[in-house]
């Protein structure tokens, strides 16, 4: 079967699944073995040297984890894939393995909070020069790239105001100076956006979010150019941020319903964004599906759907948020996103808690902003919940 010709939703079911499981099992078993035994020493030696397929030790590779890696590889249309214990494991391993003292990175100010810490603290301490540009200023990003750099790190849509970057345009600029392009595709997932088809060299995920989809396992995935993925894999197998079989199983299981969930979340988020936009107690709504959103045209050209995350600012101060959020019924007030249940929180308390009010203002994050990650509940119930809580303000 040629899986690469099929749609991501179909690939999610069949990729990485073998028909050779013990007892004819129809799903990939959880192999909780640390090591793999060989009676034939020559065979063991060949596997250890990578001359033959097989498993040696689960810090390097594990059968359940390998099945998950194959799933994301096929879905993103990549040559190779590898995995990590968390999304930050994927990001930090990629950046540390592919740069080094004297290297230059160009990125944006709105990357995920943990990524931002790498750019502001850990990478500069390792003598990597990092330039962070205003996220939507494509001219400024291109100018920074054109001064010469080794790696361009992009994220779109961004957290929490859903800013959009033009992946084709920025990848082309990066390649003119010979830089590697890495894209964090966590918010979009391969159902909504395929960065490698836009020119990116590597795409990575916090699998903790939409891919797993049930808030019950953490993981990170990286795929793309085989030589680059292999370089990052060799670093990860030594620093040890390896994904375990149990979470790998949960993530692969979650991915089988990814298309169903994302289609529903795309549709619900669009309805909710439109509802909030016309509500008198809401000052502004950030959702790339809204025609008035600054990145709408780019999003339309590079995304199949606009995603399940939106954010909105109440027409009031932080006290409004403190009254509004606890009065919602169908939501977990929690820091994560991309789950079957709706999750919400103020960036002031979650993703951007370590910033000052002034720093948040500079990033365009109002104090009354709420990030709302739409679950797969029936949208009519979510709309009623929001409407009720707004009317109580």
Ligand X SMILES: *Cc1c(COP(=O)(O)O)cnc(C)c1O
From 186, 268, 339, 342, residue interacting with ligand X (rule: CB under 6 A): 186
Q: Does 350 bind ligand X (CB under 6 A)?
A: no
User: Known catalytic residue: 59?
Assistant: yes
Nearer to ligand X, 123 or 390 (CB): 123
Tell me which of 12, 31, 88, 285 binds ligand X, using CB under 6 A. 88
CB of 286 to ligand X, least distance (A): 15
Select the residue whose beta carbon is closest to ligand X and give its number: 87
* Contacts to ligand X from residues 277-306, by CB under 6 A: none
Q: Assess 214 for contact with ligand X (CB under 6 A).
A: no
Q: Which residues does 360 contact at the CB level (< 8 Å), separation at least 6?
A: 347, 348, 352, 366, 367
Q: Is 58 in the site for ligand X (CB under 6 A)?
A: no
Nearer to ligand X, 206 or 342 (CB): 206
Is residue 184 part of the annotated active site? The answer reads yes
Span 154-183, contacts to ligand X by CB under 6 A: 155, 159
- How many residues interact with ligand X (rule CB under 6 A)? 15
Cβ proximity to ligand X: between 91 and 149 the closer is 91
Looking at residues 218 to 237 of the shown chain, list those that interact with ligand X (rule: CB under 6 A). Answer: 218, 220
95 forms part of the interface with ligand X (CB under 6 A): no
Decide: 262 and 293 in contact? Cβ < 8 Å: no
Tell me how far, at minimum, the Cβ of 219 lies from ligand X, in Å: 7
Q: Nearer to ligand X by C-beta: 187 or 233? A: 187
User: Contact with ligand X (CB under 6 A): which of 58, 62, 75, 112?
Assistant: 112
CB nearer ligand X, residue 62 or residue 92: 92
109 binds ligand X (CB under 6 A): no
- Catalytic residue (one of 109, 110, 112, 236): 112
Q: At what angle do helices 245-255 and 63-75 cross, to 10 degrees?
A: 30
Per the annotation, the verdict on 112 as an active-site residue is yes
Which of 93, 192, 208, 266 is the binder for ligand X (CB under 6 A)? Answer: 208
Candidates 109, 163, 209, 348; catalytic one = 209
Catalytic residue ranges: 59, 112, 184, 209
Question: Would you tell me which residues interact with ligand X (CB under 6 A)?
Answer: 86-88, 112, 114, 155, 159, 184, 186-187, 206, 208-209, 218, 220
């Amino acid at each position: 079967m040629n899986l690469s010709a099929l749609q991501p939703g179909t690939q999610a079911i069949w990729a990485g699944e073998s028909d050779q499981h013990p007892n004819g099992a129809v799903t990939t078993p959880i192999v909780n073995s640390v090591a793999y035994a060989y009676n034939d020493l020559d065979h063991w030696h060949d596997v250890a040297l990578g001359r033959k397929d097989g498993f040696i030790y689960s810090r390097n590779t594990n059968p359940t984890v390998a099945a998950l890696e194959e799933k994301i590889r096929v879905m993103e249309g990549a040559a190779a894939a590898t995995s990590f214990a968390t999304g930050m494991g994927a990001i930090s391993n990629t950046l540390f393995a592919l740069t080094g003292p004297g290297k230059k990175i160009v990125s944006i100010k709105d990357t995920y909070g943990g990524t931002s810490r790498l750019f502001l603290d850990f990478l500069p301490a390792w003598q990597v020069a990092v330039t962070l540009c205003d996220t939507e200023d494509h001219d400024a990003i291109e100018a920074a790239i054109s001064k010469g750099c080794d790696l361009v790190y992009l994220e779109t849509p961004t957290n929490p105001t859903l800013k959009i970057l033009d992946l084709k345009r920025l990848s082309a600029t990066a390649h003119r100076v010979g830089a590697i392009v890495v894209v964090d595709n966590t918010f979009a997932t391969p159902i909504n956006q395929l960065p490698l088809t836009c020119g990116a060299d590597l795409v990575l995920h916090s699998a903790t979010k939409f891919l797993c989809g049930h808030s019950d396992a953490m993981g990170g995935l990286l795929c793309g150019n085989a030589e680059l993925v292999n370089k990052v894999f060799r670093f990860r197998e030594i620093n040890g941020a390896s994904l375990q079989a149990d979470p790998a199983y949960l993530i692969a299981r979650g991915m089988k319903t990814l298309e169903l969930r994302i289609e529903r979340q795309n549709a619900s988020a669009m309805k909710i964004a439109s509802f909030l936009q016309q509500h008198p107690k809401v000052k502004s709504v950030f959702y790339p599906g809204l025609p008035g959103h600054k990145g709408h045209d780019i999003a339309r050209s590079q995304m199949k759907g606009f995603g399940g995350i939106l954010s909105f600012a109440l027409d009031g101060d932080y006290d409004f948020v403190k009254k509004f959020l606890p009065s919602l019924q169908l939501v977990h007030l929690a820091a994560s996103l991309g789950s079957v249940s709706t999750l919400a929180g103020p960036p002031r308390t979650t993703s951007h808690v370590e910033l000052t009010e002034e720093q948040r203002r500079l990033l365009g994050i109002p104090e009354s902003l709420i990030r709302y990650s739409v679950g797969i509940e029936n949208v009519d119930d979510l709309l009623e919940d929001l409407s009720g809580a707004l009317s109580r303000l």
